[in-house]
Structure 1
Amino acid sequence: MFGKVNKHKIREFLDGHEELKELRRVRLRDFLTGEIFTRPIFSKHVGYLLFIIFLAFCYIANHYKVEELVTRLAVVNKELKELRSEAITTSSQLMNISKQSEVLRRIREEGIDLEPLREPPRILDVD
């Protein structure tokens, strides 16, 4: 019905099944004594386990970097709000100072002999 079954595939399947049995026999004591590292299943998958550990370290480092950036962003946003309010205050002060009545008042306070124009300025034509 299924044709010929490859003996190599059967062995691979059985080996995988044996690895599961071996994993079921692992106890907490094996981890504490380090005996788990001497088992064939561990030595067979050392590269994969090291890769997983590397990814875990990258994940942790990335998390700390993001935390640092979020903290820095909060500080910069607070500083931005302060600078915005300062800019609005400065702008309103400059608008107040540049009013014609304020300019005249300051000129009189300083004792400068200037008067506002009574007639509009004229255009000089040079021919």
Structure 2
Amino acid sequence: MENEIKKRALEEEQPQEQPAEEKETVSPKKPSKILSASEYSFFLDRENLHKLFPMIFFLAGLGLFYIYNAHYAQRIVRKTDDIKDEIKELRAEYITIKSDLMYQSKQSQVSKRLEGGELKELRTPPYKITFTEKDER
């Protein structure tokens, strides 16, 4: 009995080891799609030059877009600064005009302006004028 149990244990252990070995041998290295640096030649010859054109054009376009974007951002910043300066000037002008208007609308200033004309400042308090039908005739 003991021998049979040992045989079964050995048989169970052996098949487990074999698939592990097979898995290691079954998985060979897959060739990578990205070429290593050693596979590129640094000499541009006619055969390989046409393969590099799409990448060169893409990088050139990307560089042009980067430069355009930087110039566009600087232009927007300059316009924003100009508009801020203009707003400050207009606000200062608004405050100046408003203060002048408030000064000129004072009663003393209005009376000074009206002195030379036919209009005069009212010295008595205002009163209500009533109209009746008898006055009409």
- What residue in structure 1 maps to residue 71 of structure 2? 64
**Largest Rg, 1 or 2:** 2
Query: Which letter does structure 2 place at the counterpart of 1:111?
Result: G
- 1:104-119 matched pairs, under 5 angstroms: 104-108=111-115, 110-116=116-122, 118-119=124-125
State yes or no: 1:102 paired with 2:109: yes
Q: Percent identity?
A: 28
CA distance in 2, matches of 1:96, 1:14: 82
**Which of the residues 19, 41, 46 maps onto 1:38?**
46
Instruction: Return closer, same or farther for 1:70/1:104 CA change in 2, 3 Å cut-off.
Output: same
CA distance in 2, matches of 1:3, 1:88: 87
Partner SS, residue 103 of structure 2: helix
Q: Can you list the C-alpha shifts for 1:35-89, whole angstroms capped at 9, x where unaligned?
A: x26353x543532432232121111111111111212222222222111111110
Q: Can you list the C-alpha shifts for 1:7-28, whole angstroms capped at 9, x where unaligned?
A: 8x43xx38823xx1144x52xx
The count of aligned residue pairs is: 110
Q: Can you list the C-alpha shifts for 1:64-118, whole angstroms capped at 9, x where unaligned?
A: 111112122222222221111111100000000111111011101x332322262
- What residue in structure 1 maps to residue 96 of structure 2? 89
Partner SS, residue 119 of structure 1: coil
Instruction: Return closer, same or farther for 1:124/1:95 CA change in 2, 3 Å cut-off.
Output: farther
* Deviation beyond 3 Å, 4+ runs, structure 1: 2-7, 42-46, 120-125
Q: 1:97·1:103 contact (CA, 8 Å) conserved in 2?
A: yes
Query: Which letter does structure 2 place at the counterpart of 1:16?
Result: L
- What residue in structure 2 maps to residue 77 of structure 1? 84
Ranked by relative contact order (alpha carbons within 8 Å, sequence separation 6 or more), the top structure is 1
- What residue in structure 2 maps to residue 16 of structure 1? 35
TM-score normalised to structure 2 length: 0.61
